[in-house]
Structure 1
Amino acid sequence: MRIEDLDIGDVVYAAHAITDDGSMPNGMHGQVLAEAGARGVITMIGHVEEQPERSVYIVRFEDREMNLGTPIGCWPEDLRLESRYENAWGRFEFS
């Protein structure tokens, strides 16, 4: 399966630390929004108007207490289908 085949409600993992690029309302540029390996759920799939051929995935990643965080816009290369990293909580996760 490929990232492009996923749908709303599917579980994904952060392929790397995802940081605020300045587009998060009330956010701080460079702030880590999701640690590498963090588990998340796709809540919406859309396209950027300037690049209609490219999908953007809105994902809510879990925090340390397993609460879903603020929705984050992610490109396919920001996501993995399985975790290949030790996450922020010191666990290795594989699906």
Structure 2
Amino acid sequence: MSFKDQLTKDLDVFLNTDEFAELHAINGVELVCTVDNDQLKERSKKEYDGIAAGELLFFVKKADYGIRPEEGTPVIFDGRQMYVFNAREDTGMYEIILSQNRGG
């Protein structure tokens, strides 16, 4: 088995609903993803000098989600209107940070 094959196999563990992942409605489609707001806090510290980078970070299989969303793209996550703050692709998975515009 190649290294890439092993990484792909590991995605099935990371995105297993019996282990880490959960079903969430993303743009009206039920997708298996892993929400990781601890990772969001760490990224905010390292990459954004402690400034809040968004409100929700989740991982989802690229094959399940489709085309990587661009910054500012609207996303409805579990019925909540949000916007893509950042989206990265790595080894068949997207890491997507969402933020929510709030009127004031």
TM-score after normalising by structure 2: 0.31
Q: More helix by proportion, 1 or 2?
A: 2
TM-score after normalising by structure 1: 0.33
Higher relative contact order (CA 8 A, sep 6+): 1
Instruction: Return the index of the structure with the highest Cα Rg.
Output: 2
